[in-house]
Structure 1
Amino acid sequence: MTTPPTAARPRAAWTLLITSAATFMAALDNLVVTTALPVIRTDLGGSLSDLEWIVNGYVLPFACLLLLAAALGDRFGRRRVFAGGVVLFTAASAAAALSESTGMLIASRAAQGIGAAVLMPLSLTLISAAVPAERRGTAFGIWGAVNGLAVAGGPLVGGTITEHLSWHWIFWLNVPLGLALLPLVRTRLTESRGPNNRLDVLGTVLVSGGMFGIVLSIVRGHEHGWTSPAVLTGFALGGLLLAGFIRWEQRSATPMLPMGFFRSPTFTAVNFTGLIAFFGIFGSIFLLTQFLQLIQGYNPQQAGLRMLPWTAMPMLVAPLAGILTDRIGGKYIVMGGMVFQAAGLAWFALVNEPAVSYGTQVPGFVLCGVGMGMFFAPTGAMVMGSVPQEKEGIASGVNNAMREVGGALGVAVLASVFAARGGYASPQEFTDGIVPALWVGVIALLAAAAGMAAVPGRRRRAAPPPPDRAPLPGTPAPPKAAAPVA
């Protein structure tokens, strides 16, 4: 039964509000602790490795469990599983706020990461189901603006709260928001499920185990060495499990992730771009926040405020980019976003020195913020438009998993480049390390912009990706949808 337009509008508005608020919490907590780490170390003690795991403990389950969460939503109901994610994230935030040791804080952060892995992919599926196709670009633009604001604003929020209250309130902030969302999730979101009633248990075990091995090796590479036996073993085992997952999905009658998705140039290019974009965003923010505090002497709040041009730009740019995506497609908007971010990092690399003035750094912050807004807005619509509607949850899970892997890889690789060329012994040594690390980010972002050239233009009406096998008897035909947004 088709929902009347008058009834669909408030449902779409509520869905966008609820999912954006929930994913704001999840995206914010990716980087909210970065400016608070020096204070946490003083309060709880712990080594530099412990501090890294306060960040990585969140990223690891987040990246590894996204596909499982999307599959659970398709099987048991997206609204029901989404509500469970809100409950888990809220409870884990309270546990993190109550932590009295680094071990407890790392464990709580891991539980937060599991909750975030539920919220991210299902939010896009719920929006896609509630918003008419012709307005999804705008809706995803708003969603992207909120999440871009959260990612870029994490250092500001964390620094301000740490400076005026305490680092515990970074996590207490999530609790009232989570409690307020729960009744709205129950009463304002419409339940939906995927087409398959079976949960691909073997597929989820293989892909989750494979992602765990890969991401764990990425986050440990800087600490233990990229050629250490433990790191190489993790890469090897993770790669074997992912190869087994691909083989199983090709043979399965009801694959969790149809491999035909990757024959779509849009799906493949957008996921590659997401990985590289987060590589540059997370790696550069990780180093630049330290530069502002350790080298230029700003306190956590002052450092966060000075990143405000980066923080504010996605909020202004992403909704406009979303509207343009509905009209002209997203290909060139995303390419432009990658170029803007690369230009911003290049600016920082060119002007960086211990005594550089804040005004000289502002253009770099603005360019990165504009580029981030241009990236976040179109990618959701492009991913959703490249797959059948009943598979949007899994597609969203893949996209978010690639982003999280990119973020973990960016922090690890740029930190390794920094450590190889510089260090913390003096301001000049820090500059010697951060400049080549930023140039690595520039090269990666330009490669992502070039990769988007494989996406068909707006006028090319791309056919849906071919299925891995003929549909089973009794399987309903996929609904006719508008041409994929490119």
Structure 2
Amino acid sequence: MDTHPSPWSARLRWVVLLSCSAVALVVASMAALYTALPEIAARTGATQSQLTWIIDGYTLALACLVLPAGALGDRYGRRGVLIAGLVVFALASALPLVLHGPVWLIVARTVGGAGAAFVMPSTLSILTSGLPREQRTLAVGIWAGTVGGGAVLGILGSGLLMEWWTWESIPAAMAVCGAVLAVAACTVPESLDSARPAFDPWGALTGATAVGLVVVAALEAPQRGWLDPLVIACAAAGLAAGAAFALIELRVAHPLLDVRLFADRGFGAGTVSVAVQFLVSFGLFMLIVQFFQLILGYRPLISALAMAPMIAPMVLLSLISPWIAQRFGLRLPTAVGLVLVGVGLLCLALLTADSTFVDILWPLLIMSTGLGLTAAPATAAIVDGVPPDKHGVAAAVNDAAREVGAALGIALAGSILAAGYTHHITPALTHLPPEIRDPVSNSLAGALQVTDHIGPAAAPLATFAEQAFAHGLRTATLVLGGLTLVVAVLLGVWAPGRVARKPPHPTPTPDFAERIDS
């Protein structure tokens, strides 16, 4: 019997292109406003706390709703959920163009994140549920590579737009792209769970509550401190809601997510790997964008271009890493890839305020090579761990792990950076006038604004502040790198090898497979 994958039809290539374009759009939106925050603050009067929630409101809504969104797609149709999500995303992106002010921008980003929660699992489950195993592997590789490079594409696209227009061009572009993709998605064949099980409302409520509270705790920790009563309360309540979710899912006839799946070595290791990948990626993005702009003095566009080389290794290796996992098992690409990510982060811990772009580029390439090796096999392991009818939920688990990991990474990196900067800059504060101590102690951006206003006489203070920032960055990358290496060792033991690989679930029902490939 011929086991080689058949050539892709034009219809299948269109579905893959549309799915990858949609997921690239919503992932790019997560990071697109990074380079625009200074202009948003200047034009809208947003406070530092409001700027944080302009970024994080999107992530919070996405993380809370992605699991029930995946289940709804399985039951009512993934194409319909995809179209609805894109429509909500497009309308929310257009909202800041007619309603101005930081509060409305936070609302728009939160609603946009809710729309994205319906888009992300639908794009993956439409691909995986409609394809046989041999074709699914390549499609998952392309999808995972797109997700891996999506954040960098968002930063690059926003940098290009801000080179000629204001920050409002970013949500305008997102709105247009979302509307175009919503129309294009009408051409995708519908797919859903053939059994159409009852929806699990209590599982959806407790799951969303657990994820939301944990993410809020992670996002508030950098501003309030990890031992702040609100942070501790949110974290504890989130863990309690998570325990309630697990108990409910073990008892109901048709669970939103069968928590027993996490005992499967492939599914569990894939989920942990995906979470760690996004944790270190988004933590690093927050650090490096600031280093490029504040230390090297790059404009937003140049900062984005400086990160663009990361895309090539991630995308290229995502195409071949599923084959490596099939040949050698999940353990090899996961362990080797995460070791490379950790090594790249530890190399970034050598940066100083005098470092050049080349000093940053080669560690970034090492790190992106590791991400390219690990991303697609982890996603494939999650998808292969469930029957095709449940691929919407599997995709949602994959996406929820990414979003929670991203939130934790931003919180962890931000907290360590702030603590390192404050500790290093404190000795200089005693020699400063009281009226400029706060901006200098708060951030490097505030310190540079003060020194620019004072003039050349403040050059030593600017240099000292840059060294303090570099100290905080080194500490953060050291912690992220060490954490990644520890996880690499643990998953190297836990993740299944080739011999331990489970047989795949049956091929999806012929009707949808024929429609998507015809």
1:440 aligns with 2:479: yes
Matched ranges for 1:56-67 at <5 A: 56-67=56-67
C-alpha distance in 1 between matches for 2:30 and 2:39: 18
Task: Tell me if structure 2 keeps the 8 A contact 1:273–1:451.
Answer: no
Match of 2:491 in 1: 452
Cα distance, 1:327 vs structure 2 = 4.3
Match of 2:420 in 1: 421
Cα distance, 1:177 vs structure 2 = 2.3
Identify which range, 195-204 or 399-408, moves more after superposition: 195-204
Deviations 1:142-186 (A, max 9, x none): 111222221223222222211222211212222332222223322
Match of 1:462 in 2: 502
Change (3 A) 1:326 1:98: farther
AA aligned to 1:132 is: P
Q: TM-score, normalised by structure 2?
A: 0.85
Deviations 1:319-356 (A, max 9, x none): 23244445444432232221222121111111x11121
C-alpha distance in 1 between matches for 2:402 and 2:163: 30
1:368 aligns with 2:367: yes
1:76 aligns with 2:76: yes
Deviations 1:281-336 (A, max 9, x none): 11111011001101221111111111122233323322232444454444322322
Change (3 A) 1:174 1:77: same
Task: Tell me if structure 2 keeps the 8 A contact 1:284–1:438.
Answer: yes
AA aligned to 2:393 is: I
Cα distance, 1:57 vs structure 2 = 0.7
Change (3 A) 1:153 1:448: farther
Match of 1:471 in 2: none
Question: Where does structure 1 lack aligned partners over 5 or more consecutive residues?
Answer: 465-477, 482-486
Matched ranges for 1:336-355 at <5 A: 336-350=336-350, 352-355=351-354
AA aligned to 1:391 is: K
AA aligned to 2:71 is: A
C-alpha distance in 2 between matches for 1:124 and 1:452: 24
Change (3 A) 1:33 1:218: same
Task: Tell me if structure 1 keeps the 8 A contact 2:341–2:367.
Answer: yes
Task: Tell me if structure 1 keeps the 8 A contact 2:145–2:315.
Answer: yes
Cα distance, 1:64 vs structure 2 = 0.8
C-alpha distance in 2 between matches for 1:235 and 1:140: 33
Cα distance, 1:267 vs structure 2 = 0.8
1:381 aligns with 2:380: yes
C-alpha distance in 2 between matches for 1:107 and 1:17: 30
Change (3 A) 1:286 1:237: same
AA aligned to 1:457 is: G
C-alpha distance in 2 between matches for 1:97 and 1:329: 49
C-alpha distance in 2 between matches for 1:99 and 1:194: 43
| C-alpha RMSD over aligned residues | 2.0
AA aligned to 1:68 is: P
Deviations 1:175-212 (A, max 9, x none): 33222222332223333235343111111111111111
AA aligned to 2:416 is: V
Match of 1:219 in 2: 219
Task: Tell me if structure 2 keeps the 8 A contact 1:224–1:231.
Answer: yes
C-alpha distance in 2 between matches for 1:201 and 1:140: 30
Identify which range, 318-327 or 79-88, moves more after superposition: 318-327
**What secondary structure is seen at the aligned counterpart in 2 of 1:307?**
helix
Identify which range, 66-75 or 174-183, moves more after superposition: 174-183
AA aligned to 1:435 is: R
Task: Tell me if structure 1 keeps the 8 A contact 2:131–2:507.
Answer: no
Matched ranges for 1:305-316 at <5 A: 305-316=305-316
C-alpha distance in 1 between matches for 2:360 and 2:232: 38
AA aligned to 2:66 is: L
Cα distance, 1:7 vs structure 2 = 11
AA aligned to 1:110 is: T
Task: Tell me if structure 1 keeps the 8 A contact 2:416–2:472.
Answer: yes
C-alpha distance in 1 between matches for 2:37 and 2:402: 23
Match of 2:89 in 1: 89
Question: Where does structure 2 lack aligned partners over 5 or more consecutive residues?
Answer: 423-443, 448-464, 509-518
Match of 1:472 in 2: none
C-alpha distance in 2 between matches for 1:7 and 1:311: 26
Match of 2:425 in 1: none
Match of 1:291 in 2: 291
**What secondary structure is seen at the aligned counterpart in 2 of 1:422?**
helix
How many pairs were matched up?
463
Identity of aligned residues (%): 32
Task: Tell me if structure 2 keeps the 8 A contact 1:274–1:402.
Answer: yes
Task: Tell me if structure 2 keeps the 8 A contact 1:155–1:289.
Answer: no
Matched ranges for 1:38-437 at <5 A: 38-193=38-193, 195-350=195-350, 352-423=351-422, 424=444, 425=447, 426-437=465-476
Match of 2:13 in 1: 13
Identify which range, 104-113 or 310-319, moves more after superposition: 310-319
Change (3 A) 1:247 1:160: same
Match of 2:440 in 1: none
Rg larger for:
2
Task: Tell me if structure 1 keeps the 8 A contact 2:266–2:330.
Answer: no
C-alpha distance in 2 between matches for 1:246 and 1:266: 20
C-alpha distance in 1 between matches for 2:195 and 2:506: 12
C-alpha distance in 2 between matches for 1:323 and 1:377: 10
Change (3 A) 1:309 1:461: closer
AA aligned to 1:393 is: G
Task: Tell me if structure 1 keeps the 8 A contact 2:338–2:485.
Answer: yes
**What secondary structure is seen at the aligned counterpart in 2 of 1:65?**
helix
Identify which range, 72-81 or 21-30, moves more after superposition: 72-81
Deviations 1:222-258 (A, max 9, x none): 1122222221221122211111111111111111111
C-alpha distance in 1 between matches for 2:71 and 2:234: 25
C-alpha distance in 2 between matches for 1:306 and 1:214: 33
Deviations 1:34-89 (A, max 9, x none): 11111111111111111111111111011111111011112211111111011111
**What secondary structure is seen at the aligned counterpart in 2 of 1:226?**
coil
Deviations 1:397-419 (A, max 9, x none): 11211111111111111111111
